[in-house]
Amino acid sequence: MYEQVSHALLNDILDAFSHRFRREDLRHFYTRLGANFYAIHSLFGHLYGHRQDFKEQTVRLTERLARAYIERPAALKELDMAREADHNWFLDQQWVGMALYADGFAGNLPGLIERLPYLQELGVNMVHVMPILRCPQGASDGGYAVSDFRDIDPRMGTVEDVRALGARMRERGMLLTLDVVVNHTSDEHDWARRARAGERAFQDFYYTFPNRDVPDMFEATMPEIFPETAPGNFTWDAEMQRWVMTVFNNYQWDLNYANPAVFIEMLDIILFWINQGADIIRLDAVAFLWKKIGTTSQNEHEAHLILQLMKDCCQVVAPGPLFIAEAIVSPSEIIKYFGEDAVIAKECEIAYNATFMALLWDAVATKNAKLLNQGIQSLPHKLDRATWLNYVRCHDDIGLGFDDADIRASDYDPYHHRRFLIDWFTGVYEGSPGRGRPFGVNPKTGDARISGALASLAGLEAALESGDQQAIDQAVDLILTLHAMILSFGGIPLIWYGDELGTLNDNSFLEDATKAGDSRWIHRPRIDWGRAERRHQPGTVEQRIFDGLRQLIEVRKHTPAFADFNNRELIEVANPHLFVFLRAHPTLQSGAVVVAANFDANPQFLDLDVLNQRGLFRQGQIEDLITGESPALFNNRMVIPPFHFYWLTSQRARAQL
């Protein structure tokens, strides 16, 4: 019955379109709309079918899709068709990303265009430009409090500069990733201003209440995101004389997706940036899209329906671009953002592998891989046509959201282990070389997260201060080992800008009153391009890290086993300091690679009998893909130096790569 209703409604809409869009070539649009309309109608009906204006809102939604398709440039439509024909294109090992703030990296968008050769020198071909939309100065949350979703911060450039950046990147075979903050707006957005002015339609764009009755019900079960700086989840707006939901900061108003007008507007904004040339859209804070009394208002079923609906609608207009789910949640929850009960991603094709990132840092502090191995075993299998975004550092803090059961299985006490990690990386623990800062300290629970640049957390800053050459060497080795893990794990590696040069903490944020209360600014650097030139001076830290990382990227791109087809197998070894896994391409009989990393400050050995029993390395001499040399070996035990890794294959297999 429901299918018949949707079919009849589609016929009515198409009949109206035949008069309204008579001169437009909508052949591909009609084909995709017909293929996806039942799913769109079903999801839209599940969310909004109880409303009297449901049919009217469905027509409005479809009209927005048609307009976006008409506005899509011809070159991007051709790219859509090419990606439809090669639907696994983003699973290839060729892709290597970098995330950056345009102002910190290159000043503005035109400056970023000029720096594209630098990125290509490193081997980066996917660039995530952190939020560049118009935000209030001093209350921007690093670009995530947007006051105009269709305009650029004038300090960054113009919308035309975005189009120019996208075009230049396509010429170079590079992908452009942009953010759309889907959960909230700035309190200075036009919608918020009109809500303050008393317009009921725009008050319904947000969660606003005349008294504390409903907010108190929400607060009973909702956690605090920023307990230090923004306790609670509601803010009193004196001008509006209403309480408004502000889950993140008091100047970020949460959008009410129970209102279909909100969904249509935000979808239209996503399509707008896709039409400016974005290959990938990072959807920020997707776990918070649906609020429900009596719950944490995170990871609700309706939030997934909203993402599925966004994906289906984008498939009609532009099937080429991808979605990234920015959901820093438990492994059992993050896997749902690909889409449940499916083979291909019904929601987002890419998701942040925050669990892997945090587990790597645990291995750094403990100098063993016990929790890393345990946590990876608990990481659910993802869909075939979906992939991880693997990273060591990003613009955000390092959370310690490990599963308590995994911590206990690794012979640690959850509370004390997290306390140790915070103390280690902030340099409180005796003998620690960590130079991070705590973030998000909750005085009620004692919970905290960690801020800091990779090089400073990994001990390079302390080593340079002391002039200890051995400590410097070990820190450089550790930095490269961490990157080797994200480059080989399976998924798209994402490098944080400045890490390719060993950039240290930037404490200048303390001099800016608008930033001093947010320690995450310590690892959001402004690149010193004079220092970056030292990457050409042999023996410098910058040269060793940059060239080491460039070589890793080059080898990755020539290693088919590193493509992401769910082709990773964790190998359990007796040595707790080692992290070992196998990568093997599903359609190639040879070319398997064993990745082995030692997180200890002492040499460790890998018993090759464990690999031989799996049929690995029984014939041909073992070789490291990076150096082309054979690691030290005695009585079938391989020595792995401190803070070092190997990408192991046989000479026979290497010859066939």
Positions marked catalytic = 284, 326
Quick one: 499 exposed, middle or buried, by C-beta within 10 A (0-12, 13-18, 19+)? buried
Using the CB atoms, write b or e for 130-150: b if 16+ within 10 Å.
bbbbbbeeebbbbbbbbbebe
Burial of 181 (C-beta count, 10 Å sphere; 0-12/13-18/19+)? buried
Report DSSP letters for 530-590, one per residue. HHHGGGGSTTSHHHHHHHHHHHHHHHHHT-GGGS-SS-EEE---S-TTEEEEEE--TT-SS
Whole-angstrom Cα distance, residue 39 to residue 639? 55
What phi-psi label fits residue 438: left (phi over 0), alpha (psi between -120 and 50 degrees) or beta? beta
Look at residues 196, 183, 186, 190 and name the one whose alpha carbon lies nearest to residue 135.
Answer: 186
Torsion of CA 623, 626, 628, 630, to 10 degrees: -40
DSSP secondary structure letters along 433-459: ----EEES--TTT---EEE--HHHHTT
CA distance linking residue 120 with residue 147, whole number of Å: 33
Q: Which residues contact 280 (CB under 8 A, 6 or more apart)?
A: 126, 128, 175, 176, 177, 178, 321, 322, 323, 324, 350
User: How many Cβ atoms are within 10 Å of 486's Cβ, its own excluded?
Assistant: 24
Cα dihedral 371, 377, 378, 382 sign: positive
